[in-house]
Amino acid sequence: MIINGVTIDNTFAEAFNMRGTRVIITAQNHKWAYNGANAMTGFATSVIGCGVEAGIERELSPTETPDGRPGVTILMFAMGSAVLMKQLETRMGQCILTCPTAAAFSGIDSGYPEITRINLGKNLRFFGDGFQTSKQFGGKRYWRVPVMDGEFITEETTGMVRAVGGGNFLVLAESQPQALAACEAAIEAMRKIPNVIMPFPGGVVRSGSKVGSKYKSMFASTNDAFCPTLKGLTRTELSPGIESVMEIVIDGLTDADIRKATRAGIAAACELGAQNGIKRISAGNYGGKLGPFHFHLREIMNDESLGKKIA
Amino acid sequence: MSALTFTLKIQPRQRVDLSPLTPDNLAGKPAAEIAAIELYSGKQKLRADTVFDIAGDDASNIVIANSCNKLDFIGHGMKTGRISIHGNAGSYLGLQMRNGEIVLHGDADAFAASGLSGGLIHIHGNVGDFLAAAIAGDKQGMKGGTVIVTGNAGERVGDQMRRGLLLVEGNVGSYCASRMLAGTIGVFGAVGEYAGYGMRHGTLLLTQTPALHATIQDCGLHTLPFLSLMFKSFSNLPTKFAKINKNRVQRYAGDLANDGKGEILVLQ
Amino acid sequence: MEKSAQPASMDNALSGTVTCPACGLLCDDLVVENTDGNIKVRQKGCAKSVTFFERPQQNPSPRIAGKTADLQSAIKKTAEILRNANQPLITGLGTEAHGMRAIMSLADRAGATLDHMNSNSTIRNTLVLQNSGWQVCTLTEVRNRVDLLVIVGTDIVSLFPRFFERHVWNEQSMFGQDTAAREVVYLGGRDIDTTPGISPKGVQPGILPCDIARLPEVVAALHALVSGKKLLAENIAGIATGDLQKLADRLLAAKYSVIAWSAAALDFPHAELTVQNITGLVVKLNNTTRSSGLPLGGNEGDISANQVSTWISGYPVRNSFMRTYPEYDPYHFATARQLDSNEADALLWVSSFNPERLPPSCKVPSVVIGHANMTLAAEPDVFIPVGTPGIDHKGTMFRSDNVVSLPLAKLRESTLASLSEVITAIENALKEQQAC
Amino acid sequence: MLIKLAGGTVYDPAHQVDGKVMDIYVRDGRIIARAHDGERIDREYDLRGKVVMAGAIDMHTHIGGGKVNIARMMMPEDHRGDPVAHSAFCRAGCGHAVPSTLTTGYRYAEMGYTAGFEPALLPTNARQAHLEMGDTPIIDKGGYAMLGSDDFFLRMLTAKQDQNAINDYVAWTLHASQAIGIKVVNPGGISAFKFNQRALDLDEQNVHYQVTPREILKALSRAVYELGVPHPLHVHGNNLGVPGNVETSLKTMGAVEGFPVHLTHIQFHSYGTEGDRKFSSGAAAIAEALNKHKNVSADVGQILFGQTVTASGDSMRQHANAVFGSPRKSVIMDIECDAGCGVVPFKYKDQNFVNALQWAIGLEIFLLADDPWRIFLTTDHPNGAPFTSYPHLIRLLMDKSFRNDMFAKLNLDAQAMSTLSSIDREYNLYEIAIMTRAGAARLVGLHDRGHLGVGAGADITVYTNNADREKMFAKPDYVFKDGELVVKDGQVVKVTWGHTHTVKPEFDRGIEKEIKKYFDTYHTMNMEHFKISSEEIAEGGRGGVVVHECKGRREKTA
């Protein structure tokens, strides 16, 4: 399959079951909503080192938020519910409780077959040292914690669902600037897709990894098959002329969300086309043995139900 | 199907206990059985059909017509359906009601909505003392649900109220929100003395500053973001509270005598 | 040991162990003399006991509609009135335990509602007991332990004349305390007689006056101060907050403080909330030191009536047997509400201790079973005079503290039946009528 | 009146009768050997296939007196759930946690019980207790007078008065309060609480009197023994409900130095401190000690799940427990420099770790104690559960699979801390008859109750044998009280008044002078009024006072 001169490899991305949640952060204005949300989703690129993978999903207008203020939504994913709950609580405490004017609300209340309520502000209330108070509106409980700027408002819980993490595709290009430009285009398109985040810096990761290492203490190491400078030293996956590879990793609330995001991203990258040095789109997998979700690139790009028609 | 209608045809001297006449209790009962239900009034037990003309067949929609203030325990413990009352109701309207809806077109006597834990009671009229308050021995009054009173309410509104929303559009008597445990009481009109006496938690939302006793202390003027959430939750209720959209309030807290952290918020 | 502990009939004799039911203290050290049926208090009297014991002996007849009738007819008529009523009210209840036992049985059979003439006061305490409970003590504990006595809203002595003599300024105490060094503080009330609170050494009591109706605020403030809160107000109902703070500090420093109140004196709406603040602050004090509340009551047999009513029905008065099982509704079963609403359709008023406690005026058939010396403003359908417990017949009465009960003695011969005899006869008559 | 109970299967452990088919004759309220030749039998009951036992005796049940009535008064919300309408035979009242007096009598009788003993009769409140018991119909009753925190007695100990004087005071108290035994509650602790002590261990001194609980226990158990009072000193030990109190209980057994002693509601005193939550079962150690100390008996004070109310003289411990109350209310009283009381409503929950383990601990004690003559079936009504739950408790003891099913529903952590499911023992009918009849009568000192021998008062219960023991014991076919049929098919058919059982041991009346002086100096009531007359108890045609012999009165020691 070739789109705009770019070869779509006949391969698939392999993804895993995760637990995901969404939180709505509001504040006096978008600036402070982002300040809180950026802090909360910082250092959350990969579960391997950060516990969770998190990112800002989208911006909300005042009419879309529970308290009628500007806001953003955050998605957060982890391999298990315990770690997700722990990370959510820690990040809420350090990044939202602390952020001037910020408030936090549940982002998932319905629409999924299985929603578990997990603590959002339930334990943060104890920061109130007995002065905290709760209110219930519309069957939801909110906590009011007195703080120096007034009151910190947080919903008691948010919803956690079964989610999918590790969707990905690789952009193989003739040069590093070209690879990055394609990825930027892809991310810009993918950010319009709901229910997904691309947790790496700017949405892009350059250090793809393989399982295992020559060093006993490492359980993963650089994916030498895709490292352009090692073409002559290893069993390379790269065709000649490819000088740079970058990856976009996608976590989503469902596999359909990841498909849509994958299609939008690849389409945008391909729009730059071979004329801009984009040679191939590939994907990372473990031979299909580890993850239950397989995102076959060609299938996704052929499935017009997933997004707009590709030229 | 038409509403199951009980039209009062006597003037009872003693209070009549209507607790058997709830949608849950009457569901599926044939007319003859409903007619034969016995209702306590003083020492006597009166057959329902000697007290009421009974018509209609939809037990999920009960109407009490020509009602008077001797008819007690209407909607006692009801879990489903709707009761509309035309005329006044006696005491204990909606006692320990769990869900469903009571609409009263008239006044209610004492202890309306006591122990209410869900559903809606809408009173188009005035209510007596101890609205949503706990009955003797109980530690909690209203425990959930919504009560709207278009008229005035008596003394001890919301005594030991534990949860839920209680909105009075008129005035209320003394000791409003006494020993309140949690929940929200809103009063549009004037409030009598000793508001919030013994209050432990919860919110009393007012539009006018009442006379406050010394253990309710001023915490200053504030813009409280939670009020936006609260007023949003009122927005589809049939009450003039739905139109409030201010969130700037004078905040008083207490009752300090009871280590209380309740609040009286006066809209500015 | 097997002989009766109750003094037998004492015609023309002196006795030194007479129990006085004229107030809830039930002092049982009175010396009285009986001269041909008229009693004189010779020793240990007080204004209330003299009034009680020294009423001239009278022996009126029962009356039906104002006309002299024999007892049997009056009993039969009373039973008819009860039988024909759909919501009979038995109230007043000025009686002791045995009379109350009989009333409970009659009420069950008659489907009656019960209330006491003092319930407007006693309910202020009962509602607290039923809501939060309390921490209280009895009179001997006060007599032997109190080091700081705080009296809320009353002088005590106008209702309980010998309180200070017997329980505060007693010469000896069990634990070697110098009783004259006890501190007394009057909190609330205006122009009350505080002289009984002056110690034998002449130390003046503390006095923090305020209008009775402002006590809810003052007591709340004291509770808050005892709990370590800081109040913004400098003056509370005319009392400097600093003075209240000093009182709070003294309470916290005392080894065994007692906070006394009389529910009768807290005569303002919803006074139970104020009582609950008093008992709440006692509980708070007991986190670190010892303190007890002291609710003072027991007049006109109110504690006795509530005790008996509670063990027989599960509820104190303002209960009802109209549904064949006991119900309790301290709001709706109040005498005034029952009569004002016209729901009660017969009234039976009982006052065997005090001829001055008269039934409320009412338009329904009424029966008065009362003290022989009673002068009624309106003639009831039936009047039945009964003997006075503690003078004309024996009895058992509960003291103010709800724990101690004492035997009341028969001091003279009387032809009057006791209340329990009359009530039991009414019940039997009712049983016969119901069987017909 | 002669009645014949024909052909029933009789369990009468006092006479070693274990399931023997036999006839019983009753003439004028007493059991006789047989009818005279030719004597007409007025009424014969065909009891073939039925189980016949003496009327059951509850040797520890709070049925009367101040704290019980406070509990009643403070719980209208509980009464509302169990209203009792009057019937052709019975008056109205209320049931559940603390039933009204009349209902208490009816419901005991309807379960085949014919006697109940109030274990915390405050002498200063004895008149009220007798008034309430006087309004408790059908069953016999009696009370154990509370001593041990009263000023007069503690003064005697401080002054190191000799045992004879103490014995005289104890005897005087039994007479004055019309009691059948002596109870001590948190020995010295109720007094200590008034001096602001918050705990008192067995060898810790009351700050005012400089006296320890051990000394109190020794003096009182010896006094009871030397006076020849059949019922040993009834002990509610120190540290009720405190984790680790199993040590106190074990020491208490030794503290009485061989004098007979009864440890009441021992379940509440059998707690260890093992495990993550520092709360564990001490049942095995208690049962082992109980098996070893033949001078010690105990009743269990089993807890069962649901709403009840704890009512105790132990104001010190109840004050500490008040924070656990549910609903949250409590009455704590200091009483007459004599005693105290504490009333705290309580809801035991099977998913609560502590409550679930308490449940298991009680049953472990029942099942590990070897001698049914020295262990008694109680819930410490209403503290552990209302007495109306006895049939359920009997089934738990008699039916292992039922017990294990219940156990399996408990809080999992509690299950992990209990060995209950590994205990195979099932009580049989003979053993139940010992615990609830013969043993209880012997323990209390009732010579003519609790058995079916010639001369016994004809208190007899007849059951239909049923594998479901709860059903069986909940609804006897017949209950006879003093030979009168009072219950048929589990319903009262006749209301009688039971007797009040007392003892009146001999003593030196000279002590009364001293007591009178003491009353006049310190008290607020006259000593003469402190005493309860027998006429008061029998007032209005109620059952009279029965005085039981204090057999084999021991010589006083110097």
pLDDT at C9: 46
Q: Which tens digits make up the pLDDT trace of D480-517?
A: 999 999 999 999 999 999 999 999 999 999 999 999 99
The encoded tokens of residue C368 equal: 């008065």
Q: Is C327 on the interface with B (CB under 8 A)?
A: no
Closest CA to C304 of C337, C352, C259, C261: C352
Which of D73, D322, D504 comes nearest C1 by C-beta?
D504
Residues C233 and C304 in one domain: no
- What is the Cβ-side half-sphere exposure of residue D67, based on CA atoms within 13 angstroms? 34
Residue C18 inside a domain? The answer is no
Q: Do chains D and B touch (3 or more CB pairs under 8 A)?
A: yes
* Contact residues on chain B for C273, CB-CB shorter than 8 A: 175, 178-179, 194, 197-198
Is the CB of B129 inside 8 Å of chain A's CB atoms?
no
Mean pLDDT of D138-165: 97
DSSP letter for each residue of A101-135: T-EEEES-SSSSS--EEEESSTTGGGGGTT--EEE
What are the structure tokens assigned to C244, written together? Answer: 């209240």
Confidence class for position C3, pLDDT limits 50, 70, 90: very low
Flag if D76 and B136 touch (Cβ within 8 Å): yes
Note whether D261 and D221 are within 8 A (CB): yes
Residue-wise DSSP of A40-99:
HHTT-S-HHHHS-EEEEEEEE-GGGSTTSS-EEEEEEEESSHHHHHHHHHHHIIIIITTS
Chain C residues close to D68, C-beta within 8 Å: 311
Judged by CB atoms closer than 8 Å, whether chains meet at B230 and A67 is answered as no
CB atoms within 10 A of CB D401: 8
pLDDT at C8: 44
Q: What pLDDT is recorded for position A210? A: 86
Q: pLDDT tens-digit profile of A3-33?
A: 999 999 999 999 999 999 999 999 999 999 9
Please say if the pLDDT value at position C295 is more than 80.
Answer: yes
DSSP letters of D509-547? TTHHHHHHHHHHHH-SS-HHHHSPPHHHHTGGG---EEE
CA-based torsion, B59, B166, A63, A160: positive or negative: negative
What tens digit of pLDDT does each residue of D328-382 get?
999 999 999 999 999 999 999 999 999 999 999 999 999 999 999 999 999 999 9
* C71 and C111 within one domain: yes
pLDDT of C13 > 70? The answer is no
CB distance from B243 to chain C under 8 Å? no
CB contact under 8 A, C137 and D333: yes
Fold classification of D56-445 is: TIM Barrel (3.20.20)
Give mean pLDDT, residues D102-115: 98
What are C360-370's pLDDT values in tens digits? Answer: 999 999 999 99
3-state secondary structure string across D386-432: CHHHHHHHHHHHHCHHHHHHHHCCCCHHHHHCCCHHHCCCCCCHHHH
Least Cα separation, residue A31 to chain B (angstroms):
18
The CATH number of whichever domain residue C142 belongs to comes to 3.40.228.10
Q: What angle do CA B7, B11, B16 make, to 5 degrees?
A: 80
pLDDT in tens, D257-288: 899 999 999 999 999 999 999 999 999 999 99
Q: pLDDT tens digits, residue range D39-67?
A: 999 999 999 999 999 999 999 999 999 99
Instruction: Name residues 203-232 of chain B within 8 A of A (Cβ).
Output: 203, 222-226, 228-230, 232
pLDDT band at D554 (very low <50, low <70, confident <90, very high): low
Is A in contact with B (3 or more beta carbon pairs below 8 Å)? yes
Non-local (6+) Cβ contacts of D369 within 8 A are D287, D290, D291, D298, D375
Please tell me whether the peptide bond between D382 and the residue prior to it is cis, using omega within 30 degrees of 0. yes
Q: Of C264, C279, C296, at which residue does a domain stop?
A: C296
User: In this complex, do D74 and B137 lie within 8 Å of one another by their Cβ atoms?
Assistant: yes
Range scoring the smallest mean pLDDT among A138-152, A207-221, C321-335:
A207-221
C167 and C224 both lie in a single domain: yes
Beta strands in B79-152 (DSSP E): 82-87, 101-105, 120-123, 143-149
Q: What is the C-alpha to C-alpha distance for residues D30 and D27, in angstroms, rounded to an integer? A: 5
Mean pLDDT (chain C, rounded):
95
Mean pLDDT of B260-267: 95
Domain annotation for chain A: domains and CATH numbers? 2-14+164-306 (3.30.70.520), 18-161 (3.30.70.520)
Collect all residues with Cβ–Cβ distance below 8 Å to C151 and sequence separation of at least 6: C184, C185, C186, C187, C197, C259, C260, C261
Confidence (pLDDT) at B78: 98
SS3 of C166-225: the string is HHCCCCCCCCCCCHHHCEEEEECECCCCCHHHCCCCCCCCEEECECHHHHHHHHHHHHHH
Does any domain span residue C396?
no
CATH number for the domain spanning C341: value is 3.40.50.740
Per-residue pLDDT at C10: 46
pLDDT at residue A208 greater than cutoff 70:
yes
Say yes or no: C317 and C428 in one domain: yes
- Assess whether chains A and C touch, using the rule of 3 or more C-beta pairs within 8 angstroms: no
**CB-based contact D124 C6, cutoff 8 Å:** no
- Domain shared by C358 and C309, yes or no: yes
State pLDDT tens for residues C193-229.
999 999 999 999 999 999 999 999 999 999 999 999 9
The residues facing D10 across adjacent strands are D20, D52
C240 membership: H or E segment, kind and range: strand C239-240
Counted domains in chain C: 2
Other Cβ atoms within 10 Å of C243 Cβ, number: 15
Last residue of a domain, one of C263, C296, C329: C296
Same domain, C421 and C343: yes
The pLDDT of residue D557 is above 60:
no
Q: What is the pLDDT of residues D169-205, one digit of tens each?
A: 999 999 999 999 999 999 999 999 999 999 999 999 9
Q: In this structure, are residues B147 and B172 in contact, taking their beta carbons and an 8 Å threshold?
A: no
Nearest CA-CA partner of B18 in B72, B67, B96: B72
**Which residue has tokens 């738990």?**
D396
Q: Which residue has the tokens 């000649």?
A: A240
Question: What is each CA distance from D59 to C69, D141, D262, in whole angstroms?
Answer: 52, 9, 11
For B112, what's the count of Cα atoms within 13 Å in the CB-facing half-sphere?
33
Euclidean distance between CA atoms A124 and B45, whole angstroms: 56
D71: pLDDT strictly greater than 60: yes
CA dihedral A184, A189, A193, A195 (to 10 degrees): 0
Q: Mark yes or no for CB contact D331/C126 under 8 Å.
A: no
Nearest Cα residue to D97 out of D116, D120, D77, D112 = D77
Domain ranges for chain D, please list them. Answer: 56-445
- Let me know whether C225 and C369 are in one domain: no
The string of DSSP codes covering A158-193 is EEEEEEEEEEEEEEEESSHHHHHHHHHHHHHHHTTS
A-chain residue closest to B235, CA distance: A138
Closest residue in B to A103 (Cα) is B225
Q: How confident is the model at residue C12 (pLDDT cuts 50, 70, 90)?
A: very low
Check if B213 contacts C (Cβ < 8 Å): yes
In the stretch 503-532 of chain D, residues with CB closer than 8 A to chain C read: 504, 521-526, 528-529, 531-532
Cβ contacts (< 8 Å) between C137 and chain D: which residues? 333-335
Q: Is beta strand C319-320 parallel, antiparallel or unpaired with respect to C327-328?
A: antiparallel
Of B130, B139, B194, the CB nearest to C131: B139
Interface contact flag, D331 C312, Cβ < 8 Å: no
* Chains with at least 3 CB pairs less than 8 angstroms from chain D: B, C
Instruction: Please report the pLDDT score of residue C5 as a whole number.
Output: 41
Query: What is the band of C7 on the pLDDT scale with cuts at 50, 70, 90?
Result: very low
Report the relative pairing of strands C133-137 and B143-149 from DSSP bridges: unpaired
Q: What is the pLDDT of residue A161?
A: 97
Which residue of B226, B235, B237 to mutate against A (max A Cβ within 10 Å)?
B226
Residue D6 has pLDDT above 80, yes or no: yes
What is residue A212's predicted lDDT score, i.e. its pLDDT?
87
Both C99 and C179 in a single domain? no
pLDDT in tens, A28-66: 999 999 999 999 999 999 998 899 999 999 999 999 999
Q: Is there a single domain that holds both residue C281 and residue C167? A: yes
What is the span of the domain harbouring residue C261? 133-296
Look up the ipTM and state it: 0.92
